[in-house]
């Protein structure tokens, strides 16, 4: 009997909607919440275990199943749960995937099942009201210390501001929603709730690093920033559909890591730098947590004369890591070196994805600005 019940649960996995984790979309889920009626992956099952008042989990293959539990799973399933618990997810709300950090996946699961934010839209006010203020720990640009700073997001003014003192009349910085991006970077920042916010200052990228001890708070900030971007883009592109706008709300970096580089004359020694590929901007920093990049390189499309080559020219001087990459732009060549072949392959793949993508009209204006930089 036990084997038959287990086989019956396994058969349910073949139903449409049940072939992927209900929460992160990972393929071939092998766990289930028998109180919510959803099939989930091992990673998400660990998060469900932390909300036992809402969700109780079992391994599909290893645990014993009772007849009533099998029947409950059969009468529910992932599609039914999605209809119930995700019926009112705002278009701007970030839906995490299996590759996202633990915090985003945990708060998505808690928002859905524990707080039921997407069945009761009044619970969405923290990120959909168009205004948000509060305190975040912000990393000091010069000394690296995290200090509590007041942040104010206002859609009406199209900006995120922060203040160095509680009673300060003037903000220390005003970040325009138009050019703002936010991405979770727990490993880089050294905190599981670490968020990197970037904006353009004099057309150069400026980084700030923040966190909040409360996971819900920082994810609410993240989604409030996405909501502000969404509403800004709706006005900027009145004919665009939600599906067109949502990918533009925030972006994760295509690739980050250490490489070595040499200067424009290619006679200077190679220096180790932290590189970030953000859309078409390749930035390099002395330290991963620097506020400003040491330099930025625009990477256009192959139609515009950009190519990526394996290796370095035979005439390359100086001691450097063994696995080279040459980026050819209409103006010059950039010589880079990776420590391992695996890293080199990953960087070349990231660069080629960018080069193979045709340029958008607005990207030509960005390219022109790079060409006129001193």
- Name the nearest CA neighbour of 154 among 231, 210, 67: 231
User: What pTM did the predictor assign?
Assistant: 0.92
Average confidence score pLDDT of the chain: 93
Specify the pLDDT at position 364.
81
Can you tell me the distance from the alpha carbon of 88 to that of 361, in angstroms, rounded to the nearest whole number?
35
CATH architecture of 255-372: Roll (2.30)
Q: Which CATH number fits domain 125-248: 2.30.29.30, 3.40.50.720, 3.40.50.2300, 2.40.30.170?
A: 2.30.29.30
Instruction: Say yes or no to pLDDT of 133 above 60.
Output: yes
> What digits encode the pLDDT tens for the residues 44-91?
999 999 999 999 999 999 999 999 999 999 999 999 999 999 999 999
- Name the nearest CA neighbour of 231 among 180, 163, 172: 180
Instruction: Say yes or no to pLDDT of 1 above 60.
Output: yes
Average pLDDT score over residue span 139-147? 90
Say whether 238 sits in a helix, a strand or coil. coil
Can you tell me the distance from the alpha carbon of 12 to that of 30, in angstroms, rounded to the nearest whole number?
11
Specify the pLDDT at position 371.
64
Say whether 182 sits in a helix, a strand or coil. strand
Average pLDDT score over residue span 330-339? 94
Can you tell me the distance from the alpha carbon of 135 to that of 83, in angstroms, rounded to the nearest whole number?
35
b/e burial code for range 301-315 (CB count within 10 A of at least 16 → b): bbebebebeeebeee
Instruction: Say yes or no to pLDDT of 2 above 80.
Output: no
Average pLDDT score over residue span 133-158? 95
- Name the nearest CA neighbour of 77 among 125, 140, 22: 22
Specify the pLDDT at position 307.
97
Q: Which CATH number fits domain 1-121: 2.130.10.30, 1.10.220.150, 2.60.120.560, 3.90.1170.50?
A: 1.10.220.150
Note the residue count of the chain: 374
Better pLDDT: 143 or 81: 81
Specify the pLDDT at position 6.
83
Identify whether the C-beta of residue 57 lies closer than 8 Å to the C-beta of residue 33.
yes
Say whether 193 sits in a helix, a strand or coil. coil
Instruction: Say yes or no to pLDDT of 135 above 90.
Output: yes
Radius of gyration of the chain, Cα coordinates, nearest whole angstrom: 24
Average pLDDT score over residue span 316-339? 93
Structure tokens at 227: 């909501």
> What digits encode the pLDDT tens for the residues 227-258?
999 999 999 999 999 999 999 999 999 999 99
Average pLDDT score over residue span 95-118? 97
Say whether 178 sits in a helix, a strand or coil. helix
Say whether 309 sits in a helix, a strand or coil. strand
Instruction: Say yes or no to pLDDT of 335 above 70.
Output: yes
What residue spans in the chain does CATH classification 2.30.29.30 cover? 125-248, 255-372
Specify the pLDDT at position 363.
83
Structure tokens at 235: 């006005």
- Residue entry with tokens 């995290």: 146
b/e burial code for range 257-271 (CB count within 10 A of at least 16 → b): bebbbbeeebeeebe
Specify the pLDDT at position 94.
98
Return the H-helix or E-strand segment holding 292. none
What residue spans in the chain does CATH classification 1.10.220.150 cover? 1-121
Percent of the chain with pLDDT over 90: 84
Better pLDDT: 233 or 1: 233
Say whether 350 sits in a helix, a strand or coil. helix
Specify the pLDDT at position 374.
39
Can you tell me the distance from the alpha carbon of 154 to that of 152, in angstroms, rounded to the nearest whole number?
6
Specify the pLDDT at position 4.
86
Can you tell me the distance from the alpha carbon of 356 to that of 362, in angstroms, rounded to the nearest whole number?
17
């Amino acid at each position: 009997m036990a084997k038959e019940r287990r086989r019956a649960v396994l058969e349910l996995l073949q139903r449409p909607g049940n072939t992927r984790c209900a929460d992160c979309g990972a393929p071939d889920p092998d766990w289930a919440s028998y109180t919510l009626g959803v099939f989930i992956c091992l990673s998400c099952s660990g998060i469900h275990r932390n909300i036992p008042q809402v969700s109780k989990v079992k391994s599909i293959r290893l645990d014993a199943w009772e007849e009533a539990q099998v029947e409950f799973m059969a009468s529910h399933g992932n599609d039914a749960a999605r209809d119930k618990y995700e019926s009112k997810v705002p278009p701007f709300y970030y839906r995490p995937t299996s590759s996202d950090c633990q915090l985003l996946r945990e708060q998505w699961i808690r928002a859905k099942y524990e707080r039921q934010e997407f069945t009761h839209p009044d619970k969405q006010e923290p990120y959909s009201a168009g205004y948000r203020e509060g305190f975040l720990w912000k990393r000091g640009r010069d000394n690296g210390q995290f200090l509590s700073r007041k942040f104010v997001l206002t859609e009406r003014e199209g900006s995120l501001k922060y203040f160095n003192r509680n009673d300060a009349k003037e903000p220390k910085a005003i970040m325009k929603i138009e050019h703002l991006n936010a991405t979770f970077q727990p490993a880089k920042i050294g905190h599981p709730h670490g968020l990197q916010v970037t904006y353009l200052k004099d057309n150069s990228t400026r980084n700030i690093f923040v966190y909040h001890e409360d996971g819900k708070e920082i994810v609410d900030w993240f989604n409030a920033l996405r909501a502000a971007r969404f509403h800004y883009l709706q006005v900027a592109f009145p004919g665009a559909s939600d599906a067109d706008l949502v990918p533009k709300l925030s972006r994760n970096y295509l690739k980050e890591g250490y490489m070595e580089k040499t200067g424009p004359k290619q006679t200077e020694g190679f220096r180790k730098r932290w590189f970030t590929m953000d859309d078409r901007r390749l930035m390099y920093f002395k330290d991963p947590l620097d506020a400003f990049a040491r330099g930025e390189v625009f990477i256009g499309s192959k139609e515009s004369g950009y190519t990526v080559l394996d290796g370095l020219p035979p005439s390359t001087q100086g001691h450097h890591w063994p696995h080279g990459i040459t980026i050819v732009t209409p103006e010059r060549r950039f010589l880079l070196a990776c420590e391992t072949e695996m890293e080199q392959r990953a960087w070349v793949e990231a660069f080629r994805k960018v080069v193979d993508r045709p340029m958008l009209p607005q990207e030509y204006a960005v390219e022109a600005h790079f060409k006129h930089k001193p």
